[in-house]
A and B are shown apart, each in its own frame.
Chain A
Amino acid sequence: MKKNSRKKLAALVMMVFMLTIVAGCGGSKGDTEKINVGINVELSGGVASYGTNARDGAILAIEQINAAGGVLGMQLNPIEKDCKSIVDEAMSVSASLVGEKIVAQIGPLTSGDVAGSTPVMMDNKIPLIAPAATASNVTVDDKTGATREYIFRVCFIDPFQGTLMAQFAADNLKAKNAVIYGDSSSDYAKGLKEYFKKTFTEKGGTIIAEEGFVKDDRDFRAALTKIKGLNPDFIYVPGYYQEVAPLIKQARELGITAPIGGGDGWDSPDMVSVAGGAALNNTFFTNHYSSQDKDPKIVKFVEAYKAKYKKDPDAFAALGYDSVQLMAQGLKDAQAADPVKLAAALAKIKDFEGITGKMSIDDKHNPIKAGVIIEFKDGAQVMNTRIQP
């Protein structure tokens, strides 16, 4: 009896063992049918609205690609994680995504968070496609000047936003004297400021004063009162919406009527709810795209996005969408779901038709593309003009 039961036990163990092998085979077979795409974005924290919209755009792109048969005969499988708008968190989220065998990571949104994630992606040789990280040192190593092999982006870079707004202020608004009042605690705003200054002075304008604020400031009246006394033709305010919205409100309350301009950090519904439609009149910001563009490709995207999410896609949604589409193009060019081959293919992409414009990736992994100027009119974002670099 005892002997018998031992035999049974041995048989059972054998069976379990074999089952495990079979199950293991099945598992690995399942993996090859799917391409894991990591989505590491800010779903909470300071810039939650950017990350949420970029995620929504990316998921829409993945669904459309899967519905059309996937890439290389395989379905894309999004793995989504929140980096909480914290640099360290962006890094640990990337580390956990790497463990899930992703072929590429979409996000994070801000340049700072991407910088946090970069070392992990570089070490593991997996491409990171940043939808909206516009600082120039995201794709290029500051110290060596070398391009980071696995870091890409679908947005234009800070220098371009500053240059673009300087062009617009000098040529379209005919501004001669400008004041810069920017966020001095973020790399993003500093980059915009430098290039605005450079282009604006090259065009014959004068920067009559430079002021600064830091993250979480809410009182700007002292510097604004001073700026009012200088009577500038244009005020450049590179920064994020949490500070910029109360700043513009206070500027208008103090009776400053000059046009105010900034970058895509302004792009949030909170701008209107905090500052109010009237205060925002005569303010402009640079952006990657406008949902009002009549281009048939954009109209189609806007319709699909609205049908799925019941809201208008902002630039972050469009960039999130383009990030996934660019990755899909890269996978097709590479003819393999392999991160290293994907990176090589992405670096060679030419004339890729995205929602945010036709783009070619240059040797610094920056896309060469046009941008738009958006104007606030009674609380609504209206496309003012498209500017070619």
Chain B
Amino acid sequence: MLEFIQQMINGLSLGAIYALIALGYTMVYGIIKLINFAHGDIMMVGAFVGFFSLTLFGTNIIVAMVAAMLICAILGVLIEKVAYRPLRNSTRIAALITAIGVSLFLEYITIFLLGPSQRVFPESAFPIKAYNVAGLSILNKDVFVIVSAVVLMLILQYIIKWTKTGKAMRAVSLDQEAAVLMGISVDKTISITFAIGSALAAAAGVMYGVYYSTVNPLTGIIPGLKAFVAAVLGGIGIIPGAMAGGFIMGLLETMVSGYGNSLYRDAVAFGVLILILLIKPTGLFGKDTGEKV
């Protein structure tokens, strides 16, 4: 039982990171129906910004996270303006290929600028404390990751449900042309979506860096892919779905390693993607709308 609770904690903190990244995927998809494959790499850039803020400027972890979120928000908006906006009315496959191009661009420009080797987050940036509660080992970084993920998700829910911007985002997601007729600036709304999505990825990047101590220019690929699976699992385009999908992925991976065999972990994770696409392509939270005539 004790081991099971420990595995739950392991799964939740891993899931929190996946969920944060998955949110960005889902938000962008919900609005412009684009799978932004560069999203995992924005997370990597966020981790690097956090790293340099901690090491070069000696800031604390919260400041590092805010800095990473700000810079990546700007980066996200820029990427949308330069790479995706000119293609908004072209085929979806063209935009998808551009997204892969942006992803490779971010990876290799980082290698060019910073070199390919990994950087190590300083131990002092986030001193690890272990709390032993009834034989369980709970680390302060587990608490940090889960709490900050939950707080960020609550803020996101607030923005989307209760603010004017959020209302605009929902409107654009529902019907772009009708939104324009209602006097909503579609360009501005899409920019804001990219800013928020990228900021969440950056926050996840800093958490990832602190949690696993290292960052390298290709760090974003695997978590990005896993988060993509999480977003599809929950139903791509649906925000609560991405959160649930992230946590389910984290728990699933942990339980497969913990009670099955660690060698099958990725096979199960990506097997789930295939199953979902076969059985319920709209995801766990998706509704089958059918074709409208």
Contact = CB atoms under 8 A, between A and B. Distances in A.
Interface of A: 44-46, 48-49, 84, 181, 184, 211-214, 216-219, 221-223, 225-226, 228-229, 242, 245-246, 249, 253-255, 270, 273-274, 276
Contact of B258 (A84, A214, A226, A276): A226
18 contacts: A45-B116, A48-B116, A212-B261, A213-B262, A216-B221, A218-B214, A222-B10, A222-B11, A222-B258, A222-B262, A223-B257, A223-B258, A225-B6, A246-B214, A253-B137, A253-B139, A254-B137, A255-B130
B261 A225 contact: no
Contacts of A219: 10, 14, 212, 253
Contacts of B6: 225, 254
Contact of A274 (B10, B120, B130): B120
B214 A222 contact: no
A214 B137 contact: no
B263 interface: yes
> Size band of the B side of the interface?
35 or more
A214 B266 contact: yes
Contacts of A217: 222
A219 B214 CA distance: 12
A39 B115 CA distance: 21
Contacts of A84: 116
B137 A222 contact: no
Interface in B242-286: 253-259, 261-263, 265-266
Nearest to A181: B262
A222 B257 contact: yes
Contacts of B258: 222-223, 225-226
B10 A225 contact: yes
B218 interface: yes
A219 B130 CA distance: 17
Interface of chain B: mostly helix, strand, loop or mixed: helix
Interface string B16-40: 0000000000000000000000000
B175 interface: no
B213 A274 contact: yes
Contacts of A245: 213-214
Contacts of B256: 222
Interface in B168-220: 208, 211-214, 218
A242 B116 CA distance: 13
Given A212-B262, A213-B262, A246-B212, A225 B123 contact: no
Nearest to A222: B257
B3 A216 contact: no
Given A212-B263, A222-B255, A274-B120, 7 more contacts: A184-B263, A212-B261, A218-B212, A222-B265, A226-B258, A245-B214, A249-B213
Contacts of B90: none
A246 B130 CA distance: 16
A184 B258 CA distance: 17
Nearest to A46: B116
A222 B212 contact: no
B72 to A, nearest CB: 20
B110 interface: no
Nearest to A256: B137
